Structure 1
Amino acid sequence: MRLFFASFLIWVASFAHAAPTGFTFPSIDGGEIDLTAWRGQPVLVVNTASRCGFTNQYDGLQTLYDTYRDRGLVVLAVPSNDFRQELGSNEDVKEFCEVNFGLDIPMTTITPVLGDAAHPFYQWLKSETGFAPRWNFNKVLIAPDGHVAATFGSNARPMSRPVTSAITALLD
């Protein structure tokens, strides 16, 4: 029984994942987005697409950001064409999001999130937690100390109780 319990504790400890330090993304606005700049803040990373049935979640992501940004929340949109539902260029994505949703959340350029071509953040996420986006608008909540606090599938709406409860638990 002791061996089982010790093994169980090691397994649980394996989920206290290392912080995602050193990851940068090209910003859709130019320059770089460095995740270390947000150390000490919760960050919700969402793989997005402009032509998806879940695209209306951009409204919820902006509302979530507006609601909690003054308390430290960052929402990072990561447009991806891995599910073949993103527009053809970064400029098209930026314009689409600004015109249709008035987004001012940080956003990366179009970025792979799956497989060998996945951005290093998503490769780290998969190796550390086993989580990889199964569709657009999957959400990954990074705690202020850098561990993965929660993951959510596409159906989890940004302002839903599970998402907001996980976020508010991490806010000061």
Structure 2
Amino acid sequence: MKPLTITSRLEVYDTPEELPEDVQRLMETAAEAREAAYAPYSSFKVGAAILLENKEVIIGSNQENASYPSGLCAERTAVYAAGAKYPDVPILKVVITARSMRHQVVSPVPPCGACRQALVEYEVKQDSPMEVYFMGETGKVVKADSVKDLLPLVFDNSCL
């Protein structure tokens, strides 16, 4: 037996105002997208904004369905839209914000496992890291320099 140690390095900002200006604007865009979420079942709204290398910004919000597995998270809504509209343009940054319609969300809300897998697929495809920023409604913001920092043992095409 040989131990395997996995580490990830994340940065934590106390407020969105500490972020670079371009990321602040993306966070504002993600917050606007969040309000378009369709979340009648969870009452939990999530918005995402993706910055592409060509400077285009693609947004997404979670879209729920009475048949729960048929819904889609904000991150996947945005990344699939980016892939459909700009299939060969690398993704530079993914920004995510979430809020509950029942209580204030002050802790950073990371992408779910399915979204991490979808994001890492695009990161592997473009062969370059994408920054991921996430927060709740207010408060701290967490930054990962790569999706692989959030999903260190990636399942990609090399596993097939």
Higher strand share: 2
Q: TM-score, normalised on structure 1? A: 0.28
Q: TM-score, normalised on structure 2? A: 0.29
**Structure ID, larger Rg:** 1
